[in-house]
Structure formats: C-alpha cells, structure tokens
A = this chain, B = another copy of it.
Amino acid sequence: MSGNVSRSGATVTSRALALIGAFDARHRRLSLSQLAERAELPVPTAHRLVGELVAWGALSRTSAGKYVVGRRLWDVGLLAPVNTGLRQLASPYLHDLYGATLATVHLAVRDGDKVLYLDRLSGHASVPVVSTIGSRLPMHATGVGKVLLAHAPPAVQAEVLAHLTRITPYTINQPGTLRRQLARVRKDDYATTVEEMSLGACSVAVPIRAKADVVASLGIVVPTLRKDRARLVAAMQVAARGIGRALLDPSTSVDHFH
C-alpha cells in the first residue's frame, strides 16, 4: 500500500488500532480532525479508516457528527478474561457484601504499578468515590492498592515507594511510613485508608488468594472506620475466601487469570 510520501512505516492495522486507541476516559467523543490528530494520521486517511470502523461497529457516529466507541467493541470487550474470569466469578460475592453493608464495594487487581478496578458496586447510600470500572489508580492511596502492594514483587514495591504522590493532605508520602504499613497489612491480613484518596472516604481491603498467591483484592469504602471495623473485616474475609475457593474449583472453569 502506501504510495504517497507515506513516511511512517506504520501498517494499516496499526493505524486502525491507533484510531481506536485515540479514545480514552478523557476523550470519549472526538471529531474526525481530533481523531486524526490523536492517531497522528492525515485527515483523509483517518476518514477512510474510520469509515470502515464505523461500518463494522467498532466506532459509531453521533447525530452531532462526533465519533464514539461503538457497541460492538463493547460487546467484544466483555469477552476479555478480565471480565469473564475473576470478575464474573466474584460478582455474586460482591453483591452479597454490598447487600449486607450498602457501602461501595471494589474488586481490583494489580496492573503494573497501578490498581486496576475490575468491578465497583455503589448505591446512593454509599460514599461517593472516584474509581470507575476499568480505571487505574495509584496503589499507595487506596485500600485495595495497599493490599496488592503488600504482596507485590519487591521491584514493584520499590518503584511505587519511590514515587509517592500526594493526593489529599492525608495521603501517605513517606516511604518509611508506608513500608511499615505494608508490613502491618501482611501481619493483619487487611489494609485501611483514611481519607488518603478522597476526603470523607475511608476504606478497608482484604486479599483474595488462589492457593497462597494473592491474585486480587476486595475493598469497601465507608465514611468512617471508627465503628464495626472488626465486623467489616470478618465479612470481607469470608467473601474473599469464598472467591478464592471458587477460583480453584475446576467446575467453574475460569479463564485464568483476572
């Protein structure tokens, strides 16, 4: 292909993917020109490729002429192991926990040096939080993050401890303090945060284990930790162990992993 000055070395496929990748949480609806710019493509090329993507259903065009991610891409995305595996298996346990507490419930895994939220349940009675399904947040400021960090490889821990950004006045940004907390998390088998990610929100989180490995974390967000911390931790550990057992159950042939 190519033919014009085409000084890129990019394949058609990579260009099409670049167009899809032009969308992110901060850019959900893009005009053709914006798409072309973000994908670093000439406008006519973008136009042609986008046409094909729309025809297939990967993108769709709003009445206003902007482009958005299409329904079909959502469909296919739901087939990813991140969604079909751990998440679906854990879902009933999360709902049980939500039903019992009416607080925001989180399911998260580690993705590099971030926490990736696989699921989130939140009603009107729950404390408002910033996370959404699919979002990635720093590990050191969230309950689930601390649990996953406490059981992460030393290299990851070192990396995270070296870059402790402050999000609220209560965010822990002293490596020593955090290191001591992580030891505590391993000892107690649960982690907490107090307004470290957003003001007015505290959290408790426990590890989910498959055999001995910590593969995920279960968290809950509450307005205060002062009351029934023990009750919460107990309920969460029951749920976490239930999920861990279900993970190993061969009858629920889960797409390993996430």
A binding-site residues for B, Cβ under 8 Å? 1, 11-14, 16-17, 20-21, 23-25, 28-29, 49, 52-53, 56, 58, 60, 62, 68-84, 88, 91-93, 95-96, 98-99, 102, 111, 121-126, 132-134, 255-256, 258
Copies in the complex: 2
User: B83 to A74, Cβ gap below 8 A?
Assistant: yes
Q: Are B52 and A17 in contact (CB under 8 A)?
A: yes
Contact among B53, B56, B73, B96 for A123, CB-based, below 8 A: B96
Chain B residues with CB under 8 Å of A69's CB are 76-77, 79-81
Cβ distance A244 to chain B, nearest Cβ, rounded Å:
16
CA of A25 to CA of B75 in the docked complex: distance in angstroms? 9
* Closest beta carbon of chain B to A122's beta carbon, Å: 6
For A78, give its contact among B17, B29, B49, B134 (CB under 8 Å): B134
Establish whether residues B14 and A134, one from each chain, have CB atoms under 8 Å apart when the complex forms.
no
State A99–B53 Cα separation when bound (angstroms).
40
| A–B complex contacts, Cβ < 8 Å, 12 sampled | A13-B52, A16-B16, A20-B58, A28-B79, A28-B81, A92-B126, A93-B124, A95-B98, A96-B124, A98-B99, A99-B102, A121-B121
Given A70-B80, A77-B77, are A13 and B14 also a contact pair (CB < 8 Å)? no
Taken together as a complex, chains A and B put the C-alpha atoms of A102 and B99 apart, in Å, by: 7
B25 A79 Cβ-Cβ under 8 A: yes
Give, as a whole number of angstroms, the nearest-CB distance from A87 to chain B: 10
Smallest beta-carbon distance A128→chain B, Å? 10
Measured CA separation A256–B68 after assembly (Å): 11
Given known A52-B13, A255-B29, contact A75–B74 (CB-CB < 8 A):
no
A11 lies within 8 A of B52 (CB): yes
Given A25-B79, A76-B77, A77-B77, residue A17 in contact with residue B123 (CB < 8 A): no
Residues of B within 8 A of A80 (CB): 68-71, 73-74
Give the residue of B20, B71, B92, B95 whose beta carbon is less than 8 angstroms from that of A76. B20
What is the CA–CA distance of A121 and B21 in the complex, to the nearest angstrom?
30
**Which residues of chain B come closer than 8 Å to A49, judged between CB atoms?**
13
A235 to B127, CA, bound (A): 22
* Residues of the B chain whose Cβ atoms lie less than 8 Å from the Cβ of A102: 99
Bound: A60/B80 CA distance, A: 9
